Structure 1
Amino acid sequence: MNRRSFFKEVARSLTETGKEVIYPLFENDIEKIERAADVLQGISWYPVDHLSLGYGEQMISGRLVCFFFDGQKAAACGKECRECHEMAQWIAYDQQLVCPGCEKSFSFREKGGSLNLAIYPVKNEQQKWWVGLPDKGVFSDA
């Protein structure tokens, strides 16, 4: 092995060792930053019961939350229309939520619509689904 190859190998080895030593430190910092962001946004994370394919509803922390799960990704929203405060109805054949009061609709497949619902973040950690709900007294559209 010539000198140049030797130094390349030493540099690569030191870089890999540095990554292995430093990564846990950054991982903890990233988790702290995520928790701080959640506190600043007024979000608390709650575990979700088993999600089945398609549409479902669950009562979480006193809120009725609608879920749509396609097998890999999940989406969550509130069921109350923010404009007329009616409870949206799930129309299975159209695969959308429709407000009976103002007749606006929201589609999970198109990720939008004219119906103004509270959209909640969803994450999958440690093989469990979690939904982020606004803390009591914190407005979700602030």
Structure 2
Amino acid sequence: MNRLDFLKEMKMGFLKTVSALYEPVMDEDLAKINQAADQLLGVQWTFLLKEWQGIGKIDQKFVKGQPVVVMYRDDNVYAYSGICPSCSKLIHISIQEEVCKCLYCEKQASFINEKVPDNLILTEYPLKKEKDGYYIAMNNEIQDGLYA
């Protein structure tokens, strides 16, 4: 092995050692930054479900007293507000037709069935997947109907 190859190996070994030492510290710092951002925004992560356990591809759950429409599509889970943005009434879901309907203002939304025209736009909640299941981000206080 010549001197140039030796120095390259030393450089690679040094970089691997430094990254291995700093990686756990960086992960802890990132977790602290995320937690601080959640506190500043007033977001609280609440447990939603372990794995998809719905009958069809759409289900309704109540989290912290708020209705949440949970949808399963393309191996992903999505969560939407279960309150109609037009009239602020509870949205009803039809598992068979895979649509959400507001019975008060007669608007509907379909996330899966392409044949149904959408005239109801629901607020989507952020989700994160952890080891023990899915968590939903909900504001501690609702301001102007906006969620983080």
Say whether the 8 Å CA contact 1:42–1:138 is kept in structure 2.
Answer: no
Say whether the 8 Å CA contact 2:59–2:93 is kept in structure 1.
Answer: no
Change (3 A) 1:135 1:80: same
Please, what is the CA RMSD of the aligned residues?
2.2
Measured in 2, the distance between the counterparts of 1:16 and 1:62 equals: 49
Say whether the 8 Å CA contact 1:47–1:129 is kept in structure 2.
Answer: yes
Q: What secondary structure does 2:20 align onto?
A: helix
The letter for the 2-side match of 1:100 is L
Change (3 A) 1:130 1:101: same
Shift of 1:29: 1.4
| Mapped pair 1:52 → 2:53 | yes
Deviations 1:6-31 (Å, cap 9, x if unpaired)? Answer: 11111111111111111111111111
1:105-116 correspondence runs (5 A): 105-109=108-112, 113-116=118-121
Q: What secondary structure does 2:49 align onto?
A: coil
Alignment size in residue pairs: 140
Unaligned runs of 5+ in 2: none
1:126-141 correspondence runs (5 A): 126-141=131-146
Among 88, 93, 113, the residue aligned to 1:90 = 93
Partner of residue 22, structure 1: 22
**What's the TM-score, normalizing by structure 1?**
0.84
Partner of residue 122, structure 1: 127
Deviations 1:86-120 (Å, cap 9, x if unpaired)? Answer: 2212133442212222232223348xx43243321
**What's the TM-score, normalizing by structure 2?**
0.81
1:40-79 correspondence runs (5 A): 40-50=40-50, 51-53=52-54, 54-70=57-73, 72-79=75-82
Measured in 2, the distance between the counterparts of 1:63 and 1:6 equals: 63
Unaligned runs of 5+ in 1: none
Q: What secondary structure does 1:44 align onto?
A: strand
Change (3 A) 1:57 1:118: same
